[in-house]
Amino acid sequence: MKQAPPVAAVLLAAGRSSRFAGSNKLLHDWNGKPLVRHVAETLTRAGVGRVLVATGHEAEVIHAALEGLGLFFVHNPAFRDGMGSTIAASAEALHPEEAALIVPADMPWIQESTLRQIMELGSCDAIVVPHHGDRAGNPVLFPPDLKLELLKLTGDHGARAVVEAHLDRIVRLGVNEQELEDVDFRGDFGRSS
């Protein structure tokens, strides 16, 4: 097996939180801090090489919520076009040798240990996808050679098309079901943390 490439996380924080009843869910309090900061801190504690924060909607406020963490920011002015365009804008900031760990910023239950396992399973060939039973989820690790495909993404389906085009390269990591959950509605914050 080839040596694992360095990893850059792409923290997707550009969305409008349209289902969250009037405010940006990423700024909602999660255990005493904004949700986006909680997820960013989990990434940094897990030892990700670089964290690229993809901003769009309320970029200045997201930036302020992450102050002092030493992160890199990539703004997607076309964030209204969907998650695909945000991933593509972020992929432009990847170094050629970096694998991309695509992490939605609304996943507060993801564990540092799981992030480390995803990175350990990474290689120059593998797409690492967390699973619980038959359910696949995020975050997904893409090897460096798929950067060009990430750059072509559009719409609101994220990087699903890239995964589906390379099913023979998937490495599955079993995780607990809650780690695959994200926050869409205010009531989601009532789940155990």
Q: Using an 8 Å Cβ cutoff, are 99 and 92 in contact?
A: no
Report d(CA 82, CA 155) in Å as an integer. Answer: 5
Instruction: Identify the band that residue 189 occupies on the pLDDT scale cut at 50, 70 and 90.
Output: low
CB burial of 117-140 (b: ≥16 within 10 Å; e: otherwise) equals bbbebbbeebbbbbebeeeebbbb
Over residues 171-186, the pLDDT tens digits come to: 999 999 988 887 655 4
Percent of the chain with pLDDT over 90: 70
pLDDT attached to residue 44: 96
Instruction: Identify the band that residue 149 occupies on the pLDDT scale cut at 50, 70 and 90.
Output: very high
pLDDT attached to residue 190: 57
pLDDT, averaged across the chain: 89
- In this predicted structure, the answer to whether residue 143 has a pLDDT above a threshold of 50 is yes
Over residues 71-89, the pLDDT tens digits come to: 999 999 988 888 999 999 9
Structure tokens at 67: 């102050």
Over residues 24-36, the pLDDT tens digits come to: 789 888 889 999 9
Cβ atoms within 10 Å of 78's Cβ, excluding its own: 15
Mean pLDDT of 62-77: 95
pLDDT attached to residue 18: 47
Mean pLDDT of 54-76: 95
